[in-house]
Amino acid sequence: MPASFRNMSLVPRVLFGIGTFDQLNSVLLSHRRNARAPFVFLVDDVFTQRHDIVQKIPCSYDDQIIFVSTIEEPTTIQVDDLVQQIILNYQELPSGVIGIGGGSVMDLAKAVALLLTNKGGASDYQGWDLVQSPGVYSLGIPTISGTGAEVSRTAVLKGPEMKLGINSDFTPFDQVILDPELTLDVPKNQWFYTGMDCFIHCVESLNGTFLNAFSQVHGEKAMALCENVFLNSKLTTLEKSEQLMMASWLGGVSIANSQVGIVHALSYGLSFVKGIKHGLGNCMAIEHLETYYPEGTKMYRKMKDSHQIDIPSGVCEHLSEREYQQMTKIALSLNPLWENALGRNWKSVVNEKVVRELYEKM
């Protein structure tokens, strides 16, 4: 059991349904403070050429669309640069920050909204409950499903020393718009890797020592939806999009009230040292964790085989000693994740040698 029960903050307003993206303008209307306080739209640059989506972004007055690259996972420096750019451009704080994109853009938007009102740099707030003040109004519109970033109380960033989230009660969005239509054009591999992020959230939550009835009911439903999306060939594409979007949400709520586990700890190390993106890193890790998550690993393989997805192997083959040490250090530094997976005495079961041996298999 965790030391105390978490008084959890969740996203207060959610708009769900096909075509709800068209309601963005009406949602924003009441949040514009004045004509000099703009809305800043952070948009995944894969949409640069998608005029159908960009034209629907309701820009007026001095509102600005900033396209952000998501080739790399978001960094604390990227957040600091965006905050600086926004502060220099306007006389007033923005009326709000709106993120349109995948998990990386969700995390960037949440972090930028917080750093506009909290002094210092983004890396100062990586950790648990370090944020002191609410950010500006923030709104998230996911365009891929699985990360749970649209509902989570974290904004995961690569910092100078760590990949670590800004975890706080001020981090969740004020509003989320879930429009399954926006996720229809995601490339197959990315759809699978990100969908597996959700499935793995459920595996880690449901098999964790922090599990409680709240996280269990959300995790069980999310897991059932994932299995349906990835194994039921009778579903239409739109049904799959709807169900995976709901799975992502429920899986995110489940881990918000419990914690992730070993897959995520290992994936964070892979991401920091090798730049492997989160969903793929999770897939690489769970491949070798049947000892810890036997049922989850088995189901993951079934879904992977059913969609004929290849997961790269040998990525750690040519790592230097220093890189191995760095990767292992990052993975082992994530105490709550290991404690959730293995209990308070996790250090008696897992050490540098164990973690390194797992990385050597990847």
**CB nearer Fe ion, residue 28 or residue 157:** 157
Q: How far is the CB of 208 from Fe ion (least distance, A)?
A: 14
- Position closest to Fe ion via CB: 197
**Nearest Cα to Cα of residue 107 among 39, 163, 158, 156:** 156
What count of other Cβ atoms lies within 10 Å of the Cβ of residue 174? 18
Shortest Cβ 149–Fe ion spacing (Å): 8
Which residue, 179 or 197, is less far from Fe ion as judged by CB? 197
With CA atoms as reference, report the closest residue to 200 among 350, 2, 341. 341
Exposed / middle / buried, residue 277 (Cβ in 10 Å: 0-12, 13-18, 19+): buried
Site string for Fe ion, 176-205 (x = CB under 5 A): ---------------------x--------
**What residues between 64 and 83 interact with Fe ion by CB under 5 A?**
none
Q: What is the number of other CB atoms lying within 10 angstroms of the CB of residue 200?
A: 29
| 150: contact with Fe ion by CB under 5 A | no
Q: Report angle CA 25, 31, 36 to the nearest 5 degrees.
A: 95
With respect to Fe ion, which residue has the nearer C-beta, 137 or 272? 272
Q: How far is the CB of 282 from Fe ion (least distance, A)?
A: 6
- Identity of the residue, 11 or 37, whose beta carbon is nearer to Fe ion in the bound complex: 11
CB of 264 to Fe ion, least distance (A): 6
Query: Measured from the CB atom, is 95 or 154 closer to Fe ion?
Result: 154
Give CA angle at 263 (251, 314), nearest 5°. Answer: 135
Q: Which is nearer to Fe ion, 44 or 197 (CB)?
A: 197
* Shortest Å, Cβ 26 to Fe ion: 32
Give me the least distance between CB of 119 and Fe ion, in Å please.
29
The SS3 call for residue 131 is: coil
For 299, list phi and psi in degrees, rounded to 5: -65, -40
220 residue type, one letter: E
Least gap, CB of 63 to Fe ion (angstroms): 31
Binding mask 26-65 for Fe ion (x = CB under 5 A): ----------------------------------------
Name the strand (E) or helix (H) holding 39: strand 39-44
Residue 271, helix vs strand vs coil: helix
Report the alpha-carbon distance of residue 267 to residue 109 in Å, rounded: 22
Q: How far is Cα 280 from Cα 360, in angstroms, rounded to an integer?
A: 17
Nearer CB in complex with Fe ion: 94/165: 165
Name the residue nearer to Fe ion (CB basis): 73 or 197: 197
Closest distance of CB 33 from Fe ion, Å: 34
Task: Find the helix packing angle between 278-286 and 294-306, rounded to 10°.
Answer: 120
- The DSSP code for 301 is H
Please give the residue ranges that form the binding site for Fe ion (CB under 5 A).
197
